[in-house]
Amino acid sequence: MSTGTRVPPAEVTGLYGSLVKAFARKMMGKVPDSVGVLWNHPAVMKDAMGIGRKVEQWHELDRSLATYAVMAAAATVGCSFCLDFNYFMSRDHGLDEAKVREVPRWREASVFTPLERRVMEYAEAMCQTPPAVTDELSDALLADLGPAALVELAARVAFMNMSARMNVALGIRSEEFADACGLPPLAVRSAAAVGSTS
């Protein structure tokens, strides 16, 4: 459960606020604390949500691979809200929930294909400072996915970095959407896997 944010949530008001709250309730069953936090600067919230909706319309990258990539990025950055939200949304996208729940510990889990592992390795490498994507990894994914899907993969991970880092900095944490809809808990990364980029 959320234990408090670093910026107090503002009251979400007005016509646009009513639309945002209705959309959140329809999508998640409630209005998350993050909406109130971001409502302190409605233009930032509106633009970030607008980019997010556009990202969801991209289709060159397989939906499962896209989900694994953004969740691996969220796990690397440490955004529990992003992990929980994407796990929760995986059910609506018809993804294999047993595999999705293993993303935080993908290096130890035996359920992923070599391609899925390369995609998550790429996502983790993009999250390093400076980014640690190698020519070899990029060449392998270019051969696996083609140029359009690889560009989309990079863009999705970049957007997740923006969202995840903003959430972590603002103290926005998981609100346990996955628990509320009966999904088993997400797997937890082992201490050995944390910080590993190879």
Q: State both tokens at 186.
A: 């997400």
**Which residue stretches of 29-176 are H helix?**
33-38, 42-57, 63-77, 80-92, 97-100, 114-127, 135-145, 147-170
Instruction: Please report whether residue 59 resides in a domain.
Output: yes
Domain boundaries, position 100: 22-180
pLDDT of res. 198: 44
Q: Is residue 13 part of a domain?
A: no
Contacts (Cβ under 8 Å, ≥6 apart) of 171: 4, 5, 6, 7
Contact call for residues 20 and 12 (beta carbons, < 8 A): yes
Q: What is the CATH number of the domain that holds 42?
A: 1.20.1290.10
Our count of domains for the chain comes to 1
Tokens representing residue 35 in the block: 């909406």
pTM: 0.89
Write out pLDDT tens, residues 77-118: 999 999 999 998 888 888 998 899 999 999 999 999 999 999
- Per the prediction, the chain carries an average pLDDT of 91
Q: CA end-to-end span of the chain, whole Å?
A: 32
Spatial neighbors of 95 by CB under 8 A, at least 6 apart, are 63, 64, 67
Asked whether residue 190 is domain-assigned, the answer is: no
